Structure 1
Amino acid sequence: MSRTHRLARTLATASAAALAAALLTVAATTPAQADTAGRGFQPGHPQLDWAGSTVVAHEGRPGGGLHPLVTQTPGLDVSSYQGDVAWSTVAADGAKFAYVKATEGTGYTNPYFAQQYNGSYDVGLIRGAYHFALPNASSGAAQADYFVGHGGGWSADGKTLPPALDIEYNPYGATCYGLGQSAMVSWIRDFSNTVHSLTSRYPTIYTTTNWWTACTGNYGGFGATNPLWIARYASSPGTLPNGWSYQTFWQYADAGTFPGDQDDFNGAFDRLQALAG
């Protein structure tokens, strides 16, 4: 081999090694993305994504307002971030219901789901499951199907809340996941209709008014079918998204008496039972 050929091979090998190192660096620092069909999506930090995990960074904790005069029933929501929950203590402290994160996208299930979902039920709480949406990863139908198949079902036992869709600020990038407002509405409708077809219940929708306005154009078409779970860390729920005249659930703080987030059901306990039943 000539000296010229040896030099060319050396440069090619060095370039290949540099390219491989660069690719490994990108893979280590960039959140995993779905393929074109959204199959096998693995969120980069699902243990840090829960109902409200993005709210404070975008909306803070506004003050003012008045606490609702209607009787409120206290509860909480949890995810893998809380780990094993001492449910007997939660019940003794007065909680009456719990929403538990089940899934995210189509590639993650909460490893603590059984302890949290069954444990809350075992101490008498009315419980429900929620799904953290990644609308840019796969279709609404695909995520609904994954959710219902991994804990997001419903049974008419009087102790199971409607499945819930957590749709909020994107923890991995663009606020609206790169979707236009009409595309986002279509995604939510696809998810909602699929959950309904699989469980007979329309899902509760968890969101904030600001996100809903920005990412759906303040669409008002879900209020007649889907309960609203509003997030606002203040002394009142504030202005609600279009289509809803009242909230069913209000996540009013991200810390407090109970583990995880603090929630109120907008009514007395018998109305919570009616929603479950």
Structure 2
Amino acid sequence: MPVHSPGPFSPRVLTVLVTALLTALAITLPRSSAQAATAPRRGSAHMGMGVLAHDGQGGTPSMGYVTQTEGVDVSAHQGNVAWSTLWNSGVRWAYTKATEGTYYTNPYFAQQYNGSYQVGMIRGAYHFATPDTTSGTTQANYFVDHGGGWSRDGKTLPGVLDIEWNPYGATCYGKTASQMVDWIADFLDTYKARTGRDAVIYTATSWWTRCTSDYDRFASADPLWIARYASAPGTLPAGWSYFTMWQYTSAGPAVGDHDKFNGALDRVQALARG
């Protein structure tokens, strides 16, 4: 009896076979690999990257209750920044991302950090923390060695520890609350030993509550930069009774995330002078 070759699959049969194959691959694919396929590129993190996803956005800032000074924060995402445009819009202070972990430095750092200074702004640098890659001490040293230092020129703000949602994996970087507090303390202690200044802590209340279990002892020395895209900064992390800076939007009237300093320009200058 002759052997006949099977004919082509019908579209319906082909669809069923492809679906079954994809399902089998999804089941066998390690979870870490699946996450890696959707995670952003290492080094691409920036201040407030997870704010919209976790805290949402609820209005524009109310200016009725305190004198505030407009600021901006930028990273490589903004590229070369038109600082004169920002200055003319009323921005008077700026922070630039310098480093992330111990594997990334901002390729636009010089243009952003020096450019803001040259138009008359008071400027500073920030570090995006990745507590799951290296120790707090190691990352603080890396930050200081790559632009995160401080000088007594009256125009340089203390460095910022940007500690927030992990864009690359587990929200709390795989650490318990006590481990996270220890990591943060190591970073802050090392930064102060290297520069003589207490670093600013940038965070969001929801992340701080979840990942430090409302630890409240950093507030006595380290200024708070709160992230919340709403008409008011809302409830602050444990220990802080007021904020020093407030990132209120990621879609400001000009380039970068926009911020309010909790006081007039002379208070920004006072923080710069230490």
TM-score (norm 1): 0.83
Find the counterpart in structure 2 of residue 157 from structure 1.
Answer: 153
Asked if 1:228 corresponds to 2:224, the answer is yes
SS in 1 for 2:190: helix
Aligned with 2:86 (options 87, 90, 113): 90
Distance 2:81 2:65 in 1: 31
* 1:43-102 residue CA offsets vs partner (Å, 9 max, x unmatched): 83323x100011111111134985451100001000000000011111111100001000
- Asked whether the equivalents of residues 221 and 243 of structure 1 are also in contact (C-alpha less than 8 Å), the reply is yes
Equivalence map 1:197-276=2 (5 Å): 197-276=193-272
| Residue 169 of structure 1 pairs with residue 165 of structure 2 | yes
Tell me, which stretches of 5 or more residues in structure 1 are unaligned? 1-25, 32-42
Q: Aligned partners of 1:69 and 1:55: how far apart in 2?
A: 24
Taking the aligned partners of 2:35 and 2:51, their CA distance within structure 1 comes to 24
Q: 1:68 to 1:212 in 2, by over 3 A?
A: farther
Cα distance in 2 for partners of 1:60, 1:98 equals: 24
- Root-mean-square deviation (Å): 2.0
1:16-60 Cα distance to aligned partner (Å, 9 max, x none):
xxxxxxxxxx989838xxxxxxxxxxx83323x100011111111
Secondary structure of 1:74's aligned partner: strand
Residue 6 of structure 1 is matched in structure 2 by none
**Where does structure 1 differ by over 4 angstroms across 4 or more consecutive aligned residues?**
26-29, 63-68
Distance 1:61 1:27, change over 3 A: closer
Distance 1:58 1:28, change over 3 A: closer
- Tell me the number of residue pairs that the alignment of Structure 1 and Structure 2 aligns: 242
Letter in 1 for 2:258: Q
Aligned residue among 182, 187, 201 for 2:183: 187
1:215 and 1:188 mapped to 2: Cα distance? 11
Identity %: 61
* The structure with more radius of gyration: 2
CA–CA distance in 2 between the matches of 1:135 and 1:265? 27
Query: Distance in 1 between the 2:64 and 2:163 partners?
Result: 24
Whether 1:108 and 2:104 are equivalent positions in the alignment is: yes
Q: Residue in 2 aligned with 1:147?
A: 143
> Which runs of no fewer than 5 residues in structure 2 stay unpaired?
1-31
| Preserved contact between residue 76 and residue 258 of structure 1 (Cα < 8 Å) | no
For residue 17 of structure 2, what is the aligned residue in structure 1? Answer: none
- With normalisation by structure 2, the TM-score equals 0.84
In the alignment, does 2:139 pair up with 1:137? no
- Candidates 37, 43, 46, aligned match of 1:46: 43
